[in-house]
Structure 1
Amino acid sequence: MDTRQLRTFIAISEHGTFARAAQAVNLTPSAVSQQIHALEQELDTPLFNRASRPPSLNLRGLQMLETAKKVLSLVDETRGVLSERRMTSTLNIGSVRTSTIGLLPRAIVALRKEYPELNVNLRVGMSSSLISDVNADRLDLAVVAEHSSVSRNMLWSPFIREPLVVIAPPGTPEMPVKQLLEELPFVRFGSDVPLAALINNELARLGVEIEEIAEIDTIPAIVECVAAGLGAGIVPDIAVRENGRDMLTLPFGDPQVFRQIGVIHRAGSAKSELLVAMHNKLAEMAGEFGIFRREPT
């Protein structure tokens, strides 16, 4: 098996017939047939349904097509690195709906300045589906909170460790946090994510008796409600760092509670250089709370 056979095989799938594929790869139709025959002999399985005209990929052929594309992508990337050309690759990124998602566009732009030929695909989703997609190699990395369902073949590395803060409407007089949370209506972060559990557990530990006025599943919406005067809330520092709108901001927890967000990827990825670079760009955008990685893992 060699890369010429794989490129010919992919060309057949893209152009529909052996004859059109031959034109695309600058071979004769007989040479294309010989390459495919040799590939099938080496794999000891037919890749085409030859009962149809033109021949179509069978199930094994479809599986081989996916593998061939991955192999050639890795070969092309390796050649670029070894010849010291600029890196050409695609980075498939997933992210949960976190308040740190605002860091991603800036990190991607900064990374592409270093790797101008880099292509980036970004998708937002739930942490469970993103982790599954990383495990299945449909995503190269995902931005998620520390997660108990991470398997041994994947690595989670935090890029930000930031404090949680209590926020109250503009003009609220400063007072002890427990008193503030018990006197003002509470806008709860209601979501099945680690951050919500972290907040609720600390409230219970501190023995705070809250009067809930709303339950909202996004941090930006909580900030908007508090800024409008609906009540108090608890959010990550990044949610109000650049524009606190004159809201009262106090440390949450005793000692102050911190949360971590990181990137998860498969161990031993062929794109380890890019993954570390992406991680460190996110840490850079996180400012004083950023956590950098020094070596590819």
Structure 2
Amino acid sequence: MLNELKTFIAVSQYGTFSGAGARIGLTQSAVSAQMQRLEDELGFALFDRTGRSATLNDAGRETLALAEEMMTLYARLSERGAVAAESGMVRIGAIASAQVSFLADALARFRDDRSGWRIRVVPGVSLSLLAQVDSGELDLAVIIKPPFALPAELEWRTLATEPFVLLAPKALARKQPSWRELLRSAPFIRYDRASFGGRLVERFLRRARLNVQDAIELDELQGIVELVARGVGVALIPDTVGLGKWPATVTALELGDATFHREIGLVLRPQHSRQAVASALADCIGTAAGA
């Protein structure tokens, strides 16, 4: 709740969600989301919302006094000199394929250098993790690059670019080696269209004017691989190190000149209280991903 209280105090100082966000490095939507969470947790409204302004109501003014007192006490707890700079909690979000590949090596490297810091890894899909970094709930996240511009307050660092392949049962690929014909004729196991990776697949199919026979749709890449291995159908998925070796019963067909890619990277918020340690962890992740 500390992040929400800090934002609440900023809103009371600057009068609008956008004004507070500009001062503390959050978007207006992120400020709004934090204030909604705070009101939900407290069980009462804090503002008289009129137009673009956010005026404190009676309950909000009482809460502000307590919030300022709490933040003062918290600041005293944080005044530990060098010790404070060498310990604490850093929160990182990560998509599944990152967690089972380079992230483990990155966390080990980070712990070697900064053993006083605890790490919480939060799983999720890219869109959810991006929102949590934007709102300040996470310090950084490993996600698929979104198909839209990031808020100006966020920083993007590319880690890897992964080509998509057509994964097919070997027996089926031997009968029909053309990836285009396999997509047209075989049951299609679709990468969830609500995910950033799934949107890339949908865009590719439209661009290539390929009509597929949808059978199953899911977000978990390993689950898609297992379904193909059992002969359920074919799938377009990224050739990512997180999946390891393909099962013996499947084959990966390259798309040639039609190949498209997903970009894996880090999103972080440069201006926050754990900027130094988040940047150090980001550097460890970059090194591990490059290796």
Q: What's the TM-score, normalizing by structure 2?
A: 0.66
CA distance in 2, matches of 1:66, 1:253: 58
Residue aligned with 2:240, SS: helix
> Which residues of 2 match residues 71-82 of structure 1 at below 5 A?
73=78, 76=80, 79=82
Residue aligned with 2:136, SS: coil
Higher helix share: 2
Structure 1 residue 251 displacement after superposition: 2.2
Structure 1 residue 225 displacement after superposition: 0.1
> What's 1:196 paired with?
198
> Which residues of 2 match residues 255-266 of structure 1 at below 5 A?
255-266=258-269
> Higher relative contact order at CA 8 Å, sep ≥6: structure 1 or structure 2?
2
Instruction: Indicate the percent of aligned positions where both proteins have the same amino acid.
Output: 24
Structure 1 residue 71 displacement after superposition: 7.6
- The Cα RMSD (Å) is 2.9
More displaced 10-residue stretch of structure 1: 222-231 or 179-188:
179-188
Runs of at least 5 residues in structure 2 that lack an aligned partner in the other structure: 1-61
CA distance in 1, matches of 2:75, 2:206: 49
Structure 2 counterpart of 1:236, one-letter code: P
> What's 2:22 paired with?
none
Runs of at least 5 residues in structure 1 that lack an aligned partner in the other structure: 1-56, 289-297
Moved over 6 A (4+): none
What do the CA deviations read for 1:72-101 (whole angstroms, capped 9, x no partner)?
A: 54x54x6359xxxx9323211123x44223
Residue aligned with 1:151, SS: coil
CA distance in 1, matches of 2:229, 2:242: 10
Residue aligned with 1:254, SS: helix
Structure 2 counterpart of 1:214, one-letter code: I
CA distance in 2, matches of 1:113, 1:155: 25
> What's 1:139 paired with?
138
How many residues are matched?
225
> What's 1:275 paired with?
278
> What's 2:220 paired with?
218
Q: What's the TM-score, normalizing by structure 1?
A: 0.65
Q: Call closer, same or farther: CA 1:191–1:245 in 2, change over 3 Å.
A: same
> Which residues of 2 match residues 38-117 of structure 1 at below 5 A?
59-66=64-71, 69=74, 73=78, 76=80, 79=82, 87-95=86-94, 97-103=95-101, 104-117=103-116
CA distance in 2, matches of 1:63, 1:118: 27
CA distance in 1, matches of 2:125, 2:74: 28
Q: Call closer, same or farther: CA 1:87–1:170 in 2, change over 3 Å.
A: farther
